[in-house]
């Protein structure tokens, strides 16, 4: 989900930089715990907001388990959305997936989970690169209002919102406006 920059009119800070850092560390522990040995685990950040989080999670996993090597990449889902033609398109950077997804455990990483439609598009996009053994979902913020039967495996913070609010997630914090 692309949102307006933080700090704009009447933004309410919900999490600070320390909270975000702690949430990343906790999610990294959960990913390790769920996937014993981390065999075949790769992180895929959804363009644009999920990319920095995928990189941060990979670094955090490396800090916790020095033996582990968890590769991370980025995924652009704009050609797979179900609202093509209904709203302006603004693709992020080109997908960079420097590893094979066939047989992998792919952890899809995004900043905000909202309707679930971006995640659905990610399923289709990933399928075009190979057939993963499993897909999991990690998000910094779950703000509710799902329109599809999709549930995250790893959550930084559950944040009840109304649909007219905007949620902004960065390394320095989470804000609602």
Partner 1 sequence: MKHLLAIDELDVADIHRLLELTDHMVEVNQRPNPKVPALRGRTVCNLFFEVSTRTRLSFETATRRLSGDVMTFTVSESSVNKGESLRDTVETVAAMGVDAFVIRHRSSGAPWQACRWTTAAVINAGDGWHAHPTQALLDAYTVRTELGRTGGFDGLRLAIVGDVKHSRVARSVGQIFAALGADVVLVAPATLLPVVAEHATSDRLDDIIGDVDVLYLLRMQRERMSEALVPNLHEYTERFGLTAERAARLSDGALVMHPGPMNRGVEITVDPAELPGSVIGHQVANGVAVRMAVLFDLLGSGGVA
Binding site for partner 1 (CB under 8 A): 76, 78-80, 84-89, 91, 94-95, 124, 128-129
Q: How far is CA 173 from CA 31, 33, 158, in A?
A: 21, 25, 14
Q: How far is the CB of 121 from partner 1 (least distance, A)?
A: 9
- 17 or 148: CB nearest partner 1: 148
- 49 or 173: CB nearest partner 1: 49
Task: Enumerate residues 6+ apart whose C-beta is below 8 A from 39.
Answer: 105
- 35 or 95: CB nearest partner 1: 95
- 47 or 170: CB nearest partner 1: 47
Q: How far is the CB of 143 from partner 1 (least distance, A)?
A: 24
Q: How far is the CB of 86 from partner 1 (least distance, A)?
A: 6
Q: How far is the CB of 110 from partner 1 (least distance, A)?
A: 19
- 13 or 78: CB nearest partner 1: 78
Q: How far is the CB of 38 from partner 1 (least distance, A)?
A: 27
């Amino acid at each position: 989900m692309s949102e307006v920059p933080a700090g704009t009119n009447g933004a309410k800070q919900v999490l600070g930089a320390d909270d975000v850092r702690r949430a990343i560390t906790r999610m990294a522990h959960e990913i390790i715990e769920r996937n014993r040995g981390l065999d075949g685990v790769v992180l895929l950040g959804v363009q644009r907001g999920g990319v920095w989080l995928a990189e941060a999670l990979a670094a955090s996993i490396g800090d916790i388990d020095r033996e582990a090597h968890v590769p991370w990449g980025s995924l652009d889902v704009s050609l797979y959305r179900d609202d093509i033609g209904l709203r302006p398109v603004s693709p992020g950077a080109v997908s960079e997936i420097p590893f094979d997804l066939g047989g992998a455990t792919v952890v899809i990483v995004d900043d905000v989970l909202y309707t679930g439609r971006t995640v659905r598009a990610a399923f289709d996009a990933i399928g075009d690169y190979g057939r993963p053994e499993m897909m999991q979902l990690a998000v910094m913020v779950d703000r509710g209002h799902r329109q599809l039967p999709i549930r995250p495996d790893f959550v930084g913070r559950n944040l009840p919102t109304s649909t007219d609010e905007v949620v902004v997630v960065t390394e320095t914090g989470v804000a609602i406006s």
